[in-house]
Amino acid sequence: MAAISLIALLICIVLSFIKKINAGILAIPLAFLVGVYLVGMKSKEVIAGFPTSLVFTLLGIMFLFGIAANNGTLDKVAQFISDLAGSRVKLIPFLLYFFSVAVSCCVGGIIGGSLVCPIAMSVGKREKIPDYIIACAVIFGVQGGAMTKIAANGIIALGLMEQIGMPGRMLPLWLHMMLSALVCFTVTYFVGGGAKLQTVGLPGAVREKIVFTDKQKITLAALVVLIVCTAVFKTDVPLTGFTIGAILILLGCGTANEAISKISWSTIMLLAGVSMLVNVIKVAGGIDAASAWLASIMTSRTASSIMILTAGAMSAVSSATGVVMPTLIPTAPEIAMQMGGTVAVEAIVSSVVIGANIVPISPLSTMGGIAMACSNEDTDKDKLFRDLLITAVLAVIGCGLLALTGFYNLFW
């Protein structure tokens, strides 16, 4: 059953690629057929795989930023960021990357991505930068900066490290995550055609002065309130987004219909369907089987690489902070002991963190889902889905190869 469930996911991805069909449309019937008639699940259990939290998060973010997009606020912010690079369009993705790092150092990966991605996509649209490059800049940026003592990802990692008796040193972990993410982004930048980006308009031309209207100033202030509420007061992101969005509508900064029109239902269908199929795979034991196989081929030299691959495989279909790190970090001391002390506990922990947090570029994750939801109207959603999924796989493999050099033993 584990093997069949994994094959079902492969069939879904291959058919959606060949037939150019939304993968979610194929994933739901596959989840139903495999789950109910092969795995023995009840229909309610299959439906329980619907990612309610993810969908609600996407709805809240898309609703609020739909208002900001319709009244021109995002365009003005995008223009400001674009102007920082002047006529050097090729530099804009790197500006967005380091901007994402800075935001994430304060609020963490998911919140940082939720805040930056809509703005970054507007920048990309204005400067004709592909959504794929923008998505990689934002997601690798927020994941790369998230391992600090005040960011959600770092707080969780720090607590788990203290549980296994490790000193609360976050700098080595932050450096490992930051440098790994930067390498991944740099590669995707060139692969995605970043070096071929062309300047929009005439080089050296004087750009119009940025002037915000009263409604745009109120909207901009509302986005700052969102950052403060979610980062400082730890309020729920989608609930805060809906609340602020409703206030903006009452203040005349937008309309409900305009905000709802910005919700990408095709993206929600895609993510919901695939998530339901992935849930069936988990119940069938497909994820456990894949992880067990990886562990069975572990040696002292490849331990870090295998842990990256294992964490990455698990994180692709579950929460990095809520499932993968709490599950695998506590195993680090035992694994190090089994390896006869030839593998440092710190290296194992870094490997788990890297594997778990480099994968969210996948469209099956919350971060990748946010990027899909914020992508521009003329973007081929199915192609972007496939590109991000392939990038997630290659990023994990690349970090696994980097681990063979002993990189994750450094800085400790």
The total domain count for the chain is 1
Quote the pLDDT of residue 217: 92
Quote the pLDDT of residue 290: 60
DSSP letter at 39 equals I
Q: How far is CA 345 from CA 342, 349, 350, 408, 410, in A?
A: 10, 6, 9, 11, 12
Q: Which two tokens stand for residue 52?
A: 């309610």
The reply to whether 27 falls in a domain is no
Handedness of CA 111, 260, 243, 270 (dihedral sign): negative
The reply to whether 410 falls in a domain is no
The reply to whether 360 falls in a domain is no
Quote the pLDDT of residue 318: 61
Q: What is the distance between the alpha carbons of residues 401 and 403, in angstroms, rounded to a whole number?
A: 5
Q: Using the structure block, give the residue that is written with the tokens 């006869």.
A: 340
- C-alpha closest to that of 242 among 259, 261, 257, 258: 259
Q: Which two tokens stand for residue 265?
A: 């239902």
Determine which of 43-52, 356-365, 384-393 has the lowest per-residue pLDDT on average: 356-365
Task: Assign 71 a pLDDT band (cuts: 50, 70, 90).
Answer: confident
Domain carrying residue 69: 52-195+210-266
The reply to whether 276 falls in a domain is no
DSSP letter at 342 equals S
Q: Using the structure block, give the residue that is written with the tokens 């009263």.
A: 214
The reply to whether 278 falls in a domain is no
pLDDT tens by residue, 330-347: 777 777 777 666 777 888
The reply to whether 272 falls in a domain is no
The reply to whether 23 falls in a domain is no
- Across the range 202-217, mean pLDDT stands at 70
Task: Assign 98 a pLDDT band (cuts: 50, 70, 90).
Answer: confident
Ramachandran sector of residue 72 (left: φ over 0; alpha: ψ -120 to 50; beta: rest): left
